[in-house]
């Protein structure tokens, strides 16, 4: 391994105590005289500045009134500071990066170090003054938008601005640095009190190109998105509940009108915990940094569990190593998410999920995507994914030679299936395409270079999406373009179209295009009647053959999985994106069942969660074969079900038609919706059911026996602490169960003592007695003779009992102990293979005496 990898594995470099720098350089004017002091900023009042450096080609050392040393800034920034700095700060201390941090090239490590205290500098500031470039929203734009007091104002305002921009700013380009770069986002997010000021207003002109006609519209929605997301991030900082819409609107008002805004501090706890929505809402952010590593260092410094490696180490680490180190720390703090790209997806060996073989992100959104969907905690390794969400086996085929017609067909289906991913791309990374949307020359020849091809493909896709979502002229133009491509059958384009489309629909940034060529193969995945675009590790594909994979979303086995991810749309409401819609990156190493335990408060009277269970089941019903549930279904009886959650749950479970293995940890899958009821047991609707585990079912009840009769394929039955074992069951009532191989009775030793498996008077007609005497091996004659070893073994394995060990200190909690034990064995699949103590011999002696 290269030296960087060794650094990553060296424990002291990543587990060193968190540096705590209490001092930084603050500046102030004392009677007009400029002074700089190294001071404990945590105990000093000061103002912090946040600004964007701007285009490096524009900034050069320049001087500002009353400051003896030159600073590095763009001419407009320098003028702005020159005119306003003293007025803004008065005699207060202030922190301005260009004055407070040494900017000379030889102090790179110091600047990396400064990243670590950046959050604290802004958190402790009395206020943060954010300097806008002046090249973004202009005064006339702000007049068009109007005051934003309500979300209705916001929607109207954005529409009016839309019209205004298209009429009054034709051929002009909006660039608001604080919406484009990463640092100002983080700096504002940490600041409780923000004041905006703006450099002199001016808009850059763009040279006319056809592409701008459509990309202009795209620009408007992309900038609206950026404004919304920044305000949302600020308003959601440190909150655990609802994000305040008022705070969000106030932030947008302040930003646009160069005003001030404060947020309520009492309701906030600073970030110290999970990677949450403040990060995840940036999934299509096009904010950038000069160095990709700053994307991690800046965003992760807000979390208390993250300690950046030493500056020297950081300089030696690749982006992938830094990312992996970050994941490792998050995991140790139980704060990890599930990485989007796991080792198995890129052909890594071993059982560790995260990998350093990842594409280097270009935008913040690319990084957020790498962190994957939010889960409460990430699994530790592939084995932990036993609780993954399995869609069953899927056929996977490569897309080797494709006509242009087929290519468009594949893209159209992807658009239909994952519209949100495409919309986000349109307003995010595609809006940044430096190429516009209209290739001036249609270069369809086979001889065009790969680079030109790639660039043209991107332009065309962008045009197509603008047309797809916006209609109008863009649609007509895209369609005409499409026809030209089809007529030319430009096969050199189709592979770029397919790969870009696959990256977007799999939730990976387009900036990963070149990287992905070495690692992934675009494929078509057949799931039921759907055929979807996906990406598979090239190492796993056997070309020219039908490849069979298990499609699964891994879930952490120790915490209740989140059933869906949420994304936030432009209007401030939350759209739900089901996990399955976002997951078509295949990981061949993960193939298991679904375990869900979605009710945290021991009650199913949670309509929202019930709805999610319902949508999850409808999404997975085509492929779900193994299911383990831990749900308090007995917490709410039908007669008290005022929210009518039970009928929804009942229908959701009934829809799981191909279940083969099922375990209900806490009850007998109690899904009655009325009382009294004659509704059949839901598990009896599952024709493929082979393995069934229920808790505390009454085995002598006719509902249970009738249901069993329908389970013709049943081979294994696990009954934990069942009732009715000693009761008589009429022969005519007892189901035939032709394939039954094993019945396992689970209890603690004390439980078995209190509720024996059978008693002499009813031994022949009780539940276990009926099963025993019905077995083909059983006949008194067989028992009188010395039975063959094989027959003996079969009989011994037929009925077994298991004593669940009682951990110290849990006396009296037999029910809970048994439930936990069964749950764990059901999740890892060992429940069905357990060897307990044979019941048969006792029973046989009782029967034959």
Which residues lie near Zn ion (CB under 5 A)?
A: 138, 140-141
Q: Residue 813, Cβ neighbours under 10 Å: how many?
A: 14
By beta-carbon proximity to Zn ion, the closer residue of 47 and 141 is 141
DSSP H helical segments within 258-350, as ranges? 277-280, 292-300, 311-316, 319-332
β-pairing, 60-64 vs 46-50, is unpaired
By beta-carbon proximity to Zn ion, the closer residue of 223 and 239 is 223
Q: What is the DSSP string of 375-413?
A: -SS--SBGGGGGG-EEEEEEEEEE--S--HHHHHHHHHH
Q: Of 333, 330, 383, nearest to 555 (Cα)? A: 383
In the complex, minimum distance from the CB of residue 139 to Zn ion, in angstroms, rounded to a whole number = 7
Q: What are phi and psi of 168, to 5 degrees?
A: -95, -15
By beta-carbon proximity to Zn ion, the closer residue of 138 and 186 is 138
Burial 33-64 (b: 16+ CB within 10 A, else e): ebeeeebebeebebbbbbbbbbeeeebeebeb
- Are the beta carbons of 571 and 155 closer than 8 angstroms? yes
By beta-carbon proximity to Zn ion, the closer residue of 141 and 682 is 141
- Are the beta carbons of 97 and 79 closer than 8 angstroms? no
By beta-carbon proximity to Zn ion, the closer residue of 140 and 658 is 140
By beta-carbon proximity to Zn ion, the closer residue of 138 and 720 is 138
By beta-carbon proximity to Zn ion, the closer residue of 140 and 791 is 140
In the complex, minimum distance from the CB of residue 172 to Zn ion, in angstroms, rounded to a whole number = 9
In the complex, minimum distance from the CB of residue 251 to Zn ion, in angstroms, rounded to a whole number = 20
Cis-peptide, bond into residue 676, ω within 30° of zero:
yes
In the complex, minimum distance from the CB of residue 288 to Zn ion, in angstroms, rounded to a whole number = 25
In the complex, minimum distance from the CB of residue 161 to Zn ion, in angstroms, rounded to a whole number = 8
In the complex, minimum distance from the CB of residue 52 to Zn ion, in angstroms, rounded to a whole number = 20
- Are the beta carbons of 524 and 396 closer than 8 angstroms? yes
By beta-carbon proximity to Zn ion, the closer residue of 175 and 469 is 175
Instruction: Mention every residue, 6+ apart, whose C-beta is less than 8 A from residue 407.
Output: 493, 494, 497, 498
By beta-carbon proximity to Zn ion, the closer residue of 140 and 448 is 140
DSSP label at 593?
-
Q: Which helix (H) or strand (E) holds 582?
A: helix 579-582
By beta-carbon proximity to Zn ion, the closer residue of 162 and 491 is 162
For residue 379, what are the CA distances in angstroms to 11, 373, 430, 555, 823?
21, 13, 33, 7, 17
Cα–Cα distance for residue pair 290/286, rounded to 1 Å: 13
For residue 777, what are the CA distances in angstroms to 556, 742, 783?
44, 14, 9
Cα–Cα distance for residue pair 553/547, rounded to 1 Å: 19
In the complex, minimum distance from the CB of residue 211 to Zn ion, in angstroms, rounded to a whole number = 22
Token pair for 828: 């890892």
Token pair for 515: 């990287």
In the complex, minimum distance from the CB of residue 171 to Zn ion, in angstroms, rounded to a whole number = 13
The tally of CA atoms less than 13 A away on the side-chain side of residue 776 is 8
In the complex, minimum distance from the CB of residue 156 to Zn ion, in angstroms, rounded to a whole number = 16
Cα–Cα distance for residue pair 72/57, rounded to 1 Å: 11
In the complex, minimum distance from the CB of residue 174 to Zn ion, in angstroms, rounded to a whole number = 9
Q: Of 593, 596, 589, nearest to 632 (Cα)? A: 596
By beta-carbon proximity to Zn ion, the closer residue of 141 and 827 is 141
In the complex, minimum distance from the CB of residue 216 to Zn ion, in angstroms, rounded to a whole number = 13
By beta-carbon proximity to Zn ion, the closer residue of 138 and 462 is 138
By beta-carbon proximity to Zn ion, the closer residue of 161 and 584 is 161
In the complex, minimum distance from the CB of residue 159 to Zn ion, in angstroms, rounded to a whole number = 14
- Are the beta carbons of 646 and 675 closer than 8 angstroms? no
Q: What is the DSSP string of 751-801?
A: HHHHS-S--GGGTTTSHHHHHHHHSTT--HHHHHS---HHHHHHHHHHEEE
In the complex, minimum distance from the CB of residue 234 to Zn ion, in angstroms, rounded to a whole number = 24
């Amino acid at each position: 391994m290269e030296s960087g990898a060794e650094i990553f594995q060296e424990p002291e470099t990543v587990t060193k105590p968190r540096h705590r720098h209490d001092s930084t350089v603050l500046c102030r004017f004392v009677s007009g005289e400029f002074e700089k002091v190294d001071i404990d900023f945590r105990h000093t009042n000061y103002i912090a500045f946040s600004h964007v450096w701007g285009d490096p080609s524009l900034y050069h050392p320049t001087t500002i009134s009353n400051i003896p040393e030159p600073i590095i800034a763009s001419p407009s920034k320098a003028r702005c500071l020159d005119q306003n700095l003293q007025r803004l700060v008065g005699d207060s201390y202030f922190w301005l990066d260009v004055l407070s941090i040494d900017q000379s090239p030889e102090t790179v490590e110091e600047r990396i170090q400064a990243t670590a205290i950046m959050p604290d500098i802004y958190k402790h500031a009395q206020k943060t003054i954010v300097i806008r470039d002046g090249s973004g929203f202009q005064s006339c734009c702000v007049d068009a938008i109007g005051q934003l007091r309500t979300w209705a104002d916001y929607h109207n305002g954005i529409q009016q601005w839309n019209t205004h921009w298209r009429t009054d700013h034709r051929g002009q380009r909006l660039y608001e640095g604080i919406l484009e770069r990463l640092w100002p986002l983080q700096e504002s997010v940490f600041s409780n009190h923000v004041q905006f000021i703006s450099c002199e207003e001016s808009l850059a002109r763009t040279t006319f190109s056809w592409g701008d006609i459509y990309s202009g519209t795209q620009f408007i929605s992309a900038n609206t998105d950026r404004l919304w997301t920044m305000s949302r991030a600020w308003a959601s900082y440190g909150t655990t509940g609802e994000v305040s819409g008022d705070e969000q609107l106030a932030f947008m008002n302040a930003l646009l009108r160069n005003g001030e805004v404060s947020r309520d501090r009492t309701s906030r706890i600073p970030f110290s915990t999970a990677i949450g929505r403040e990060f995840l809402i940036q999934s299509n952010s096009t904010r950038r940094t000069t160095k990709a590593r700053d994307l991690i260092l800046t965003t992760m410094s807000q979390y208390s569990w993250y300690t950046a490696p030493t500056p020297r180490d950081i300089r030696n680490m690749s982006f992938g190593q830094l990312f992996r180190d970050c994941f490792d720390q998050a995991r140790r703090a139980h704060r990890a998410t599930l990485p989007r790209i796991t080792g198995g997806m890129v052909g890594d060996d071993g059982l560790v999920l995260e990998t350093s073989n990842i594409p280097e992100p270009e935008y913040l959104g690319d990084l957020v995507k790498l962190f994957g969907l939010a889960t409460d905690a990430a699994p530790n390794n592939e084995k932990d994914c036993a609780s993954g969400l399995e869609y069953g086996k899927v056929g996977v085929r490569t897309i080797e030679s494709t006509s242009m017609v087929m290519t468009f067909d594949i893209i159209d289906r992807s658009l239909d299936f994952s519209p949100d991913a495409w919309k986000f791309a349109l307003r995010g990374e595609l809006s940044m395409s430096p190429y516009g949307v209209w290739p001036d020359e249609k270069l369809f020849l086979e001889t065009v270079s790969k680079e030109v091809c790639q660039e043209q493909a991107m332009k065309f896709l962008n045009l197509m999406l603008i047309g797809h979502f916006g209609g109008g002229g863009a649609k007509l133009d895209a369609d005409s373009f499409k026809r030209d491509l089809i007529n030319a059958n430009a096969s050199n384009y189709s592979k770029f179209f397919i790969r870009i489309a696959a990256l977007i629909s799999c939730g990976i940034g387009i900036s990963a295009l070149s990287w992905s060529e070495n690692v992934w193969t675009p494929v078509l995945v057949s799931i039921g009647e759907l055929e979807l675009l996906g990406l598979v590790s090239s190492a796993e594909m056997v070309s020219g053959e039908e490849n069979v994979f298990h499609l699964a979303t891994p879930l952490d086995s120790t915490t209740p999985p989140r059933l869906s991810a949420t994304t936030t749309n432009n209007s401030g409401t939350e759209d739900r994106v089901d996990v399955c819609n976002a997951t078509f990156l295949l990981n061949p190493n993960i193939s298991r069942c679904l375990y869900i335990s979605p009710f945290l408060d021991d009650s199913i009277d949670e309509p929202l969660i019930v709805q999610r269970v319902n949508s999850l089941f409808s999404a997975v019903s085509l492929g779900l074969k193994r299911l383990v549930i831990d749900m308090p279904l007995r917490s709410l009886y039908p007669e008290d079900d005022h929210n009518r959650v039970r009928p929804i749950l009942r229908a959701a479970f009934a829809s799981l038609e191909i279940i083969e293995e099922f375990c209900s940890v806490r009850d007998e899958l109690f899904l009655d919706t009325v009382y009294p009821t004659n509704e059949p047991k839901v598990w009896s609707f599952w024709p493929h059911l082979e393995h069934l585990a229920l808790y505390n079912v009454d085995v002598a009840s006719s509902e249970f026996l009738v249901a069993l009769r329908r389970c013709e394929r049943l081979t294994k039955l696990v009954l934990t602490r069942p009732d009715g074992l000693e009761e008589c069951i009429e022969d005519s009532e007892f189901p035939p169960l032709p394939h039954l191989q094993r019945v396992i009775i689970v209890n603690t030793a004390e439980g078995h003592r209190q509720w024996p498996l059978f008693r002499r008077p009813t031994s022949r007609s009780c539940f276990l007695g009926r099963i025993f005497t019905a077995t083909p091996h059983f006949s008194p004659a067989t028992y009188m003779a010395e039975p063959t070893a094989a027959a003996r073994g079969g009989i011994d394995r037929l009925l077994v009992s298991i004593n669940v060990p009682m951990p110290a200190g849990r006396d009296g909690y037999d029910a809970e102990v048994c439930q936990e034990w069964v749950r764990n064995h059901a999740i890892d699949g060992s429940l069905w293979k357990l060897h307990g103590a044979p019941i048969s011999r006792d029973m046989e002696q009782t029967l034959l005496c």
